[in-house]
Amino acid sequence: MNLKPIVNQVVVLMGASSGIGRETALRLAKRGAKVVVAARSEAGLRSLEYEIRELGGEASAVVADVSEFEQVEAVAQSAIEEYGRLDTWVHLAAVGFFAPFDKTQPEEFRRVVDVDLMGQVYGAMAALPHIKREGRGALVHISSVVGKRSTPLESAYSASKHGVEGFLESLRVELLRDGWGSIGVTSVIPAAINTPFFTKARTKLGVKPKGFPPIYQPGVVADAILYSAEKAPREIVAGGAGKGMLLTQRFSPRLMDAIMVRGGFGSQMTEEPKSRADPDGLFAPMEGQDRAEGDFSEQALERSPLTWLDTHPSWKWSIGAAGAAVTLSALRAKAGERR
């Protein structure tokens, strides 16, 4: 797909005040993109805007809650007013909720769906008219490994991310049928990432939650997003462990069920107490969490070789061809010995 290089793009990032969104915004600005950052946390956006300008980049910030379509639409309009166009829309905004289903209240489940699914829908609705006006561009939506294989204690989040995957598949086909092959629709599928997501999540587990190990630094996903903004792959898994989980699910869902029963509960719990009365970011911004990395930096992996290969396809094919050549040579040598 012939999309603009990042240096020539105007990129909107929804959910940019912390975590993957913040890291991605900084990397885009370093590459020369003009960025519009949006989130609920005004303090987080202002500090991010300052960081970007300190790097010599261009940025504007808009406070918005993605569960409100009018606010999402206003972000897209702000990009047009500020820079005259919109090339790539990156939708990262999400809230977390960890609890057994039988301890989940209707309003909690609904809030997760409103932000994590409907927010993504609203983002595409707001961005598409402007991207179509440009004639080409990219929708980059951040899904999750749990959007393809649900996990216990995250029924609302898993359901929302499954919804995102279904929505994007439908949208992609409609755009192709209508002649919009120049508009990319990418699902970026992270494994567990070291961001403040787990600190901000509401929990009824009695302790602070964490992601399935191994956990990766947010830069692993940010690199996948930057690649998607230029190349628009159908999907890209960020974190090799996520690929392993999805391959196992494809091979045997029953096996994954057994793995989840055995290890899917305790592996999502830290030993740090956290009660329902402690602050969370489910319905309102949580102060003091406007940073890219979370609380697991000491154990987080800086890189994922498999993700690096996916974002460097020429190397991927070269390594594959070299491996095939070595294998063929070994088979020929073995056949010669038998003669």
Q: Please provide the DSSP assignment of 22-45 as one string.
A: HHHHHHHHHTT-EEEEEES-HHHH
Structure tokens at 255: 């096996």
Task: Answer left, alpha or beta for residue 140, where phi above 0 means left and psi between -120 and 50 means alpha.
Answer: beta
Of 251, 12, 237, the C-alpha closest to 147 is: 237
The C-alpha atoms of residue 206 and residue 234 are separated, in whole angstroms, by 39
Please state the separation of Cα 82 from the chain's center in Å: 26
Please state the separation of Cα 73 from the chain's center in Å: 21
> Does 157 qualify as catalytic in the annotation?
yes
Structure tokens at 45: 């956006």
Query: What is the b/e burial string over 114-137, where b = at least 16 CB atoms within 10 angstroms of the residue's CB?
Result: bbbbbbbbbbbebbbebbeeeebb
The C-alpha atoms of residue 289 and residue 8 are separated, in whole angstroms, by 31
C-alpha torsion sign, points 227, 233, 234, 240: negative
Structure tokens at 206: 């009695």
Catalytic residue among 83, 122, 157, 227: 157
Of 146, 158, 185, the C-alpha closest to 169 is: 185
Which residues carry out catalysis? 157
